[in-house]
Amino acid sequence: MPGALIERLRVRGFVPPDYDGGGLLNVAATVLDLLGARDDTDPPPLRALDPVLREGVRQVVVVLADGLGTGQLRALCAAGDTPFIASLLARAQARDQAQLIEATTIFPSTTAAAITTLNTARTPQEHGNIAYFIWLEEFAQVTQMLRWGPGVNRRGSYFDDQRIDPRDYAKVGSVHGRIRRRGGASWVIEPEIFRMEAMTRMHAIEAEYAGYALPSSMSVRLRDLLERRPWGDAPAYVYAYWAGIDSVAHLSGPRSKEHATEAALFDRALERALGGRKPGDTLVMLTADHGHATTDPDRLIDLIGDADLRELLRNPIAGEPRLAFLHTDKPDRVKQHLERRYPNTFFVFDRDEAIEAGLFGRGDPEVARRRIGEVCAMLGDDRAASIVKVDGQIFKHRGSHGGMSPEEMNIPVLAWRA
C-alpha cells in the first residue's frame, strides 16, 4: 500500500519528500554531524555533500530564504537578478569549494513544519507542527501554528497567557540545546518581532538571539558574528532567516517583477554578509523551506462555503490552501462529494495511507493522527482552496505552497566554504 500511494503521486507529477539523505531534514542532521552533536536517533546527514566541504569545519551557517524553491532560484540567476548567487552556482559547477544539492523539503511544504524540522532535526510526524493550520484538540480549535493562536484571528497566541508554558507543548528537543550541551554555540538571526513568538520559545529558546528590525540588517548581524566569533574556539552554528521572498511570492506570484526585486535585495544582502570571504573553516548552506507554485486567485476553490462538505466534517477544515485536512467520520462520503462537486480537481488520499507511506516522516504517528484529517485533499496546477477565514477574510494568493508539486517541493542546498 505505501508503495502504491508513492507511485500514484509520481505518476501525477508530484514529488514525495526525501527524508533519507536528500532533504531539508538532512540539512539539520548535517549541522549536528559537523558539530559533533549527532547521535544514532538522528536522520542521516546529506548524502550528496562533498567530503571536501566537510573537512575541518568549525562553524556552520544555514541561511534560509523563505519560499525560494530551486526553480525560482535558477530562473532568477538566469535573468541576472541574483548575481552573487549566480557566482556561487558557477563555483559549484566548477567544483571550486562549492556545491549545489537539489533537495526536497518536508511534507506538507510549509514554513511551520519546515522551520520546526530545521530547529529539531525531526520530521513533521515527530514534532507535530505539521501544517500552517491544524485542528488542535488541546485547544479545541483550528490553530495557526507559527504563533500557536486561533486560526480565525490574525493576531494572538495561547501563550500570551503567562500561565501556559510553550515548552510544555514541544514534542521534541532542539538542535540548539544539543549543540550547546556538547560545548558548542548556537545563534539565531531573525526579525526582532519573532523573539517571543511561539515557534522561537518552543524550539529555539536555547540559542542566542540576534534580532533585526529591517531585513537589510540580517546581513549586518551575520557578518558581525562571523567576524567577532563570540564563541571563541568552540564549534558554532548560526541560523539566519529572510522572509521577504515568500511574502512577495504570495502577494504577487513567484514569477513577478516584485519577486525578482525582493530576490535581488536578498542577493545583495547575502553578498554583503559573505562576499569576499576566503574559504575557511565555515560551511555555509543556503536553502529554503519550500518553493512556490503560481496560483490563480480567480480560480480559488471555496471549500469554506461548501455547506454540503461542512455537514460531513467533524471539525472545521485545516491544513494548507494546497492541502486540505478533512476531519470526518464519513471518509468515503467526503471523497465522493469532492469528486462529484469538483471533478478531476483534488488528489485525494487517506491519512493512514499517507502515514504508512512515510509522507509525514517517521516515528510514533499518534500526534499526527490527531492533527491530520482522515481525508487529505491536495491540489496541483494553479489551484488553491479557501480553508480558513482569518478576520473574516480568505487568502487569495498568486503564489501558494503546502502541496507536492515540483515547484513547492524542490529546494536548493547551495553549500560553500567561507
Mean pLDDT along residues 409-414? 98
The verdict on pTM exceeding 0.85 is yes
pLDDT tens digits along 322-348: 999 999 999 999 999 999 999 999 999
Mean pLDDT of the chain: 97
Q: For the chain, report the end-to-end CA distance as a whole number of angstroms.
A: 46
pLDDT tier at 158 (50, 70, 90 boundaries)?
Answer: very high
pLDDT tens digits along 246-255: 999 999 999 9
Q: In the chain, which segments carry CATH 3.30.1360?
A: 2-11+296-400
Mean pLDDT along residues 374-388? 98
Q: Is the peptide bond before 2 cis (omega within 30 degrees of 0)?
A: no
Q: Which residues touch 10 (CB under 8 Å, ≥6 apart)?
A: 16
Q: How far lies 86's CA from each of 61, 241, 289, in Å? A: 19, 20, 20
Tally Cβ neighbours within 10 Å of residue 410.
22
pLDDT tier at 18 (50, 70, 90 boundaries)?
Answer: very high
φ, ψ of residue 410 to 5 degrees: the values are -80, 120
Q: Does the pLDDT of residue 2 top 80, yes or no?
A: no
Q: In the chain, which segments carry CATH 3.40.720.10?
A: 24-129+144-294+406-417
164 or 63, greater pLDDT: 63
Q: Give the C-alpha separation, 375 to 333, whole Å.
A: 10
3-class secondary structure, 371: helix
pLDDT tens digits along 358-370: 999 999 999 999 9
Check: CB of residue 350 under 8 Å from CB of residue 368: no
Q: How far lies 368's CA from each of 23, 66, 125, 373, in Å? A: 20, 24, 6, 9
In DSSP notation, 297-336 reads: GGG-EESTT-HHHHHT-SS--EEETTEEEE--S-HHHHHH
Q: How far lies 31's CA from each of 55, 116, 283, in Å? A: 13, 15, 9
Smallest Cα–Cα separation from 118: which of 193, 32, 217, 57?
32
> What's 2-11+296-400's CATH class?
alpha beta
φ, ψ of residue 148 to 5 degrees: the values are 50, 65
pLDDT tier at 162 (50, 70, 90 boundaries)?
Answer: confident
Q: Which residues touch 86 (CB under 8 Å, ≥6 apart)?
A: 77, 80
Check: CB of residue 414 under 8 Å from CB of residue 287: yes
Check: CB of residue 100 under 8 Å from CB of residue 412: yes
- Four-residue CA torsion sign, 135, 136, 140, 146: negative
Q: Give the C-alpha separation, 366 to 36, whole Å.
A: 31
Tally Cβ neighbours within 10 Å of residue 264.
17
Q: What's 226's DSSP letter?
A: H
Check: CB of residue 202 under 8 Å from CB of residue 196: no
24-129+144-294+406-417: what fold?
Alkaline Phosphatase, subunit A (3.40.720)
Helices 257-274, 244-252: inter-axial angle, 10-degree rounding: 170
pLDDT tier at 1 (50, 70, 90 boundaries)?
Answer: very low
Using alpha carbons only, how large is the chain's radius of gyration in Å? 21
pLDDT tens digits along 49-88: 999 999 999 999 999 999 999 999 999 999 999 999 999 9
Q: How far lies 177's CA from each of 246, 260, 395, in Å? A: 28, 37, 36
pLDDT tens digits along 223-246: 999 999 999 999 999 999 999 999
